Structure 1
Amino acid sequence: MGERSKIEWTHHTFNPWWGCVKVSEACKNCYAEAWAKRTGQSVWGINAPRRFFGDAHWAEPAKWNRRLEGTGRRERVFCASMADVFEDRPDLVESRARLWRLIAETSNLDWLLLTKRPENILRFLPEDWGLGWPNVWLGTTVELQTRADENLPHLVNAPAVVRFISAEPLLGELDLRRYLPHLHWVITGGESGPKARPASPTWFRNIHLQCMEAEVAFHFKQWGDWAPGDGDNLARKRLEHAQDGTPMVRFGKKLAGRALDGETHDGLPRIAI
């Protein structure tokens, strides 16, 4: 549970359950798996059980929703940071149905459903989905061009008030131009953690330019552990060169920051509720 989340593009996080299976290159150094292990939860893998929660946990979003009543404000909920709402397992059916009921009852919250399994979206949407529920944003992860070309045809065919992508951790050059007319928001950023892989600054700049040309909201979340810097006299373990030749220094996430070419990019999609 994450009231007042530290993730830059959301206000809260909510997990209907914990656990998942790695399915792409972005999953290699999965922060959620590492966090689960640190808390003593063995919930990753096909044969691992998922961790479910009681009524007190499920009641929290309703509290956030009530606080917003009459204020004219909306808040975003990232669901699920420790799982994938569209994972196909029989033991998730009941909790996913409960999640749809919760979302329907919290109309002051915008629910951000980010999946690495967009091929399952249409199968698992509620029957009364229509052209999309007004408080649900659908997104998918696209860390490489191959993943973009696999995942985005499924996402752009799913009706939603907001369709977004998370190009984080970005692991290669992306050409999103054929998909951007059907998207509303692009989040991107580098990888953090002890095994973080540095990203080329050129990759981020090119995505930013594509979003500007298509008038799609752009959010640069972070450099991650690696950021451009002066690599002179540094130990080899703290210096690598990006694909475009830029020296990338391992500063750590906090010091690396989230300014791209001197600017902070906190773009959000424009929607009418």
Structure 2
Amino acid sequence: MGQNSKIEWTTHTFNPWWGCIKVSEACKHCYAESWAKRVGQPVWGPQADRRFFGDEHWKQPLRWNALASGAATRPRVFCASMADVFEDREGLDLHRDRLWDLIEATPNLDWLLLTKRPQNVAARVRWGADWPDNVWLGTTVELQKRADELLPFLAAIPAKVRFISAEPLLGPLELDRWLGEAIDWVITGGESGPKARPASPTWFRSLMIQCMERDVPFHFKQWGDWAPGNAANLPKTKKLRIARAADGTEMHRVGKKIAGRQLDGNEWDGLPGIAKTR
């Protein structure tokens, strides 16, 4: 959990538990699994236990909610960075119910539920067709096949804001049929970490243009460890590594900090405004 999160598109993070199971190509080099192992928490996989938390942990969003009363901007809470709230696993329903209680008790916070399992959402929430106004629902779509598979489930949920996280982006995405109707916001970015896969600038630029054409907010989070450009114009490193994205574009491994988050000379920090009534 983190107050004042370093993730650009959220304010805070809250985890009702830690642990998950890998279900897609985006999970291959999961940062959350790596972090959990680093701090001695073997909570990944079908046989592993999940890590749960006590009452003090659950009180923190109530404090954020009190501080947000009357504030000019609404804090956004990313839930959950170290788990998937909609994992289909025995023993999680009690904790999910506690999360729904917490969301309902914190109307000054916008809760961002990001899942790789939107097909499980309708059966796991209590709200039916009447979702709270402070819940945004998103799903991860890193490849076109995942978008085709998952977005019909996301589109069927009447959340106030529906969004996608195309991070790590592993191929081109065509989202025209969804943008502006089913999808209110697009987050995208490249992969970071020791085994990061390079993403082509063409893929990000295409998403940006699609969003601009449909008047959908676009957020470019990062290049990740790989940056585009002429090697002569990139900062010098001890050993410049070169690889090609899946479409053949040459990319240079310079690290996340150096690669930065500018796309075509700009930082793209789009956020949804007041969403339409579902």
TM-score normalised according to structure 2 size = 0.94
Contact 2:122 2:128 in 1 (8 A): no
Contact 2:155 2:182 in 1 (8 A): yes
Structure 1: gaps (5+ residues) = none
- 1:188 alignment counterpart: 188
- 1:268 alignment counterpart: 271
The equivalences for 1:170-189 within 5 A come to: 170-180=169-179, 181-189=181-189
Contact 2:2 2:13 in 1 (8 A): yes
- 1:36 alignment counterpart: 36
Give me the whole-angstrom Cα distance separating, in 2, the residues matched to 1:253 and 1:26. Answer: 18
- 1:51 alignment counterpart: 51
Give me the whole-angstrom Cα distance separating, in 2, the residues matched to 1:235 and 1:145. Answer: 36
Amino acid at match of 1:266: D
The equivalences for 1:214-233 within 5 A come to: 214-231=214-231
- 2:82 alignment counterpart: 82
Please report how far the alpha carbon of residue 236 of structure 1 lies from its aligned counterpart in structure 2 after TM superposition: 8.1
- 1:259 alignment counterpart: 262
Structure 2: gaps (5+ residues) = none
| Residue 139 (structure 2) pairs with residue 140 (structure 1) | yes
Give me the whole-angstrom Cα distance separating, in 2, the residues matched to 1:129 and 1:4. Answer: 32
Please report how far the alpha carbon of residue 62 of structure 1 lies from its aligned counterpart in structure 2 after TM superposition: 0.5
Amino acid at match of 2:271: L
- 1:103 alignment counterpart: 103
- 1:239 alignment counterpart: 242
Contact 1:168 1:189 in 2 (8 A): yes
Give me the whole-angstrom Cα distance separating, in 2, the residues matched to 1:31 and 1:133. Answer: 30
Amino acid at match of 1:138: L
| Residue 74 (structure 2) pairs with residue 71 (structure 1) | no
Count of residues in correspondence between the two structures = 272
Give me the whole-angstrom Cα distance separating, in 2, the residues matched to 1:36 and 1:133. Answer: 31
Please report how far the alpha carbon of residue 18 of structure 1 lies from its aligned counterpart in structure 2 after TM superposition: 0.2
Please report how far the alpha carbon of residue 72 of structure 1 lies from its aligned counterpart in structure 2 after TM superposition: 3.8
Give me the whole-angstrom Cα distance separating, in 2, the residues matched to 1:89 and 1:247. Answer: 41
Amino acid at match of 1:150: E
SS of the counterpart of 2:26? Answer: helix
> Greater shift after overlay, 39-48 or 231-240?
231-240
Give me the whole-angstrom Cα distance separating, in 2, the residues matched to 1:120 and 1:190. Answer: 27
Amino acid at match of 1:145: Q
Please report how far the alpha carbon of residue 247 of structure 1 lies from its aligned counterpart in structure 2 after TM superposition: 2.6
Give me the whole-angstrom Cα distance separating, in 2, the residues matched to 1:254 and 1:236. Answer: 16
- 1:125 alignment counterpart: 125
Deviation digits for residues 162-219 of structure 1, max 9, x if unmatched?
A: 0000000000010011111211000000000000000000000000111111111100
Amino acid at match of 1:46: P
C-alpha root-mean-square deviation of aligned residues, in Å? 1.7
Please report how far the alpha carbon of residue 243 of structure 1 lies from its aligned counterpart in structure 2 after TM superposition: 4.3
- 2:163 alignment counterpart: 164
Contact 1:73 1:108 in 2 (8 A): no
Deviation digits for residues 201-244 of structure 1, max 9, x if unmatched?
A: 00000001111111111000000000112236989871113345
- 2:253 alignment counterpart: 250
The structure 1 segments of at least 4 consecutive aligned residues displaced by more than 4 Å after TM superposition are 232-237
Please report how far the alpha carbon of residue 84 of structure 1 lies from its aligned counterpart in structure 2 after TM superposition: 0.3
Give me the whole-angstrom Cα distance separating, in 1, the residues matched to 2:197 and 2:240. Answer: 12
> Greater shift after overlay, 232-241 or 84-93?
232-241
Contact 2:88 2:120 in 1 (8 A): yes
SS of the counterpart of 1:91? Answer: coil
| Residue 19 (structure 2) pairs with residue 19 (structure 1) | yes
TM-score normalised according to structure 1 size = 0.96
Amino acid at match of 1:175: E
Give me the whole-angstrom Cα distance separating, in 2, the residues matched to 1:211 and 1:91. Answer: 39
SS of the counterpart of 1:81? Answer: coil
Give me the whole-angstrom Cα distance separating, in 2, the residues matched to 1:246 and 1:90. Answer: 44
| Residue 96 (structure 2) pairs with residue 93 (structure 1) | no
- 2:115 alignment counterpart: 115
Contact 1:231 1:247 in 2 (8 A): no
